A and B are shown apart, each in its own frame.
Chain A
Amino acid sequence: MNAQPSSTIEHAADEPAVTSRPRGVVQRVRRVQRSDLTLALNKWGVLIAFIALVVAASLLHERFLTVPNLLNVARQIAIVGVLAVGMTYVILVAGIDLSVGSTLALAAVISADTAVSHGAFAGVVAALVVGAAVGLVNGLGVTVGGVQPFIMTLGMLAAARGLAFMYTDGHPIASTDPAYLEIGSGRTAGIPNPAIILIVLAFLSYIVLRHTVFGRYVYAVGSSEDAARRAGIPTNVIKLCAFVICGFMAGVAGLLYASQLGVGSPVAGEGFELDAIAAVVVGGASLYGGVGTIQGTVLGAGILGVLGNLLNLTGVSPFVQRVFRGALIVVAVMVQRKGGRIK
């Protein structure tokens, strides 16, 4: 990770042809500088950590590796997983979005309310529009307004939560429309719908980031915004899009929250932004931008979800659980970075 982005800059800036494939350059540079073992650890570290945790969990509790439990875990990680997929875009462009938990709450209350008044479909649309709109405001603040992403989204963290309270007068909004509840509570082919939605969104994001020009630009902007701008990439547009996508995903998460619990609550999702960031970072992304993958993020969310499940199954005290979670984040990142060059 972070392998000499400065050399990427020069390549990207010198050769216009390369700008469409900046990741290729990054990988080529890495390959020269690193041993195969280091590379393998970097590339497969998250997967290895995930498999190790699953094996450990299977040994520690006989009911971990049962279908009902695994389906529970899949649903439990879906909401934070969707948030983390959106967060990946923002972190890849060297940004951060602290507002996703509040955006989730705002989308959840408006979505639940709209579903009551106008039906399930309108409820879905409302959640997505609200999420994307909040993302748009964040993105405009960062690009046009020139506010640092941390500050812009810190403001939105407070403001969106406040709007959710204003919208509801502090009350939870119940939604009992069966079609709406089916989205978050139902199953398709035996698999909980939220897990399917996470997989679909993650797969689409994988394609977008890996196989589209937009995706390459995202990595280029995150590796070096200056170089990307000089190479003719519309960096502000790319960053704006990253924030809109992140907000949109928070809207999806809000929809999943409200339709899974049957209630849109203004206190929903407090602190979820930190869980989402943790999942992205455990998944191998760098907060400096330009490094990270969707598959890593999903596995990162999986690692955190499996750990939580395991701690509940084995009856670890709720106080001790927090320590475990904190330690896991640091250890998981250390393992991946071990042997890697850290700036």
Chain B
Amino acid sequence: MMFLSWSRIGVRLPVVLLSLAALTIAACGNDGEDTAVEDERVDEADPTADQVDVNSPFEFDVAAMSYDDLPFAEVLPLEGGEFEIDGEVREIHLGFSQTGFNHPWRVAMLDSMVAEVARFPNVRLTVLDGEVDTLVQSDTVDDLLAGGVDAVIMSPFESDGLVPAANRVMEAGIPLVVLDRDVHTDKSLFIGQSNVELSRALAEVMVDDLGGSGRIVELMGVAGSSAAIDRSAGLQEALAEAPGIEIIAEGDAEFLRDPAVTLMEDWLVRFGEGEIDAVFSHAEESGWGSQIAIGRSDRCGDGIRQYTFDASNAGIQAALDGTFDGDANYSPFIGDVGVRAALMLLRGDEIPGAEPYDQPGERVLLPDLPTVTPENATEVVGLGWGDFEPPPDPCA
């Protein structure tokens, strides 16, 4: 039931550890409190357990993911039930190669996928972990092909490095659905959101709040990553229309909390009271880090506004509480769309909304979800990802 590249084991310690974890936890239902593995219980408790092979250290909580709450359930809609191809019901085996499971966002994407698979009794899903490494993920794609999947869904770690793996899927003559990050080669369908558009919308909320003039600092994501580049680009696009707003400092906060604390502390020394009007951060973690720095530096009185990305449940709560003035909703819940697209491609359906774009293959661009603000946060409370609490706001 599991595809493991044994040649890797013994060389890569993390592979060994994660695989051992996977061997014991795979296809285990989540009872929410007991982490012990009890395989017998799973079969009766979770009707989807036998549909999902998972080489990942995570348990699935299908019940927690209400299908109706998925933000893109309207995109490429499909009726649930036995999925027929040419009037025939047979087992359909989908393979998913994920970038890695090192971030709850990546786990949430899988949750949405599992929720979709659960609607089709004859669809089975195998999930492999790319371990945030181009080479490892490339191997997982080969493992899926070797396992004889009917279609491959991939959320690539790297757009160029996974081109050969994507080509091998296309050469095998089966559908390839690429999620979130594109690969620069032919594919059946790319499904993604635009970081540039979401960032521009977030920046426009900020421009409005600031009345068109102000001085801001930018806490960028990992320098050189596509998300950081696109989020900066969206900000620049919005600021081109708002000449009264000036970026007075920018730094690499790596999407993390601790680098943001240091950067913001130093900027609060560099700029006096009232000189910074807003923080534009590429991730909630960095937003929270800068808020910690503001509290520690006794600068809560400056009323520095916070604009950030992620729309996790914690972030939505922080927007509701007024810590975040804007939180761009870059949703992980796109896995279900990928499953539906793969099934439709297997049946030979025309994909509604698919269009050629500047890369080989076709694309379905997901509608931009609105920026979460203190005003609209009640509408989306609990519909984000991740089950952690927001840190206390030192300025609240």
Contact = CB atoms under 8 A, between A and B. Distances in A.
A, B in one complex: yes
Contacts of B267: 312
A220 B103 CA distance: 45
B11 to A, nearest CB: 11
Interface of A: 61, 63-64, 66, 68-69, 72, 76, 155, 158-159, 161-163, 165-166, 169-174, 176, 185, 257, 260-263, 265-268, 308-309, 312-313, 315, 317-319, 321
Contact of A261 (B101, B102, B107, B258): B258
A227 B24 CA distance: 49
Contact of A159 (B17, B21, B103): B17
Given A159-B17, A161-B14, A268-B258, A72 B104 contact: no
Contacts of A260: 258, 261
A174 B104 contact: no
B297 A313 contact: no
**Majority SS at the chain A contact face:** helix
Interface string B83-107: 0000000000000000001111011
Given A158-B14, A161-B14, A165-B102, A61 B256 contact: no
8 closest A-B pairs by beta carbon, nearest first, are A312-B266, A318-B252, A162-B17, A158-B13, A69-B269, A262-B391, A72-B265, A162-B14
Interface stretch (B111-119, B303-311, B345-353, B382-390): B382-390
A61 B271 CA distance: 12
Contacts of B57: 165-166, 169-170
A29 B258 CA distance: 45
A313 B107 contact: no
Contact of A163 (B17, B59, B220): B17
Interface string B192-228: 0000000000000000000000000000100100000
A312 B251 contact: yes
Most B Cβ at <10 Å: residue of A69, A170, A260, A266: A170
B18 A162 contact: yes
B250 interface: yes
Nearest to A308: B262
B102 A267 contact: yes
A174 B252 CA distance: 23
Nearest to A72: B265
Contacts of B292: 185, 261-262
B106 to A, nearest CB: 8
B249 A315 contact: yes
A158 B95 CA distance: 27
Interface string B244-273: 000001111000111001110111011000
Interface in B341-366: none
A213 to B, nearest CB: 37
Given A158-B13, A171-B386, A319-B223, A263 B101 contact: no
A169 B25 CA distance: 12
13 contacts: A63-B269, A72-B266, A158-B17, A166-B18, A166-B57, A170-B103, A174-B389, A185-B296, A261-B292, A266-B102, A267-B256, A312-B263, A318-B252
Contacts of A64: 269
Contacts of A268: 258
B257 A68 contact: no
Nearest to B101: A170
Nearest to A266: B102
Given A185-B296, A308-B262, A171 B104 contact: yes
B391 A174 contact: yes
Given A162-B17, A262-B292, A170 B266 contact: no
A315 to B, nearest CB: 6
B18 A313 contact: no
A261 B257 contact: yes
B392 interface: yes
Contacts of A162: 13-14, 17-18
A61 B106 CA distance: 42
A166 B21 contact: yes
Given A171-B387, A261-B257, A318-B220, A313 B269 contact: yes
Contacts of B250: 317-318
B261 A262 contact: no
Given A261-B258, A318-B250, 20 more contacts: A63-B269, A68-B297, A72-B265, A158-B12, A158-B14, A159-B17, A162-B14, A170-B102, A170-B103, A172-B285, A174-B389, A185-B296, A263-B257, A265-B256, A267-B256, A312-B267, A313-B269, A318-B220, A318-B223, A321-B252
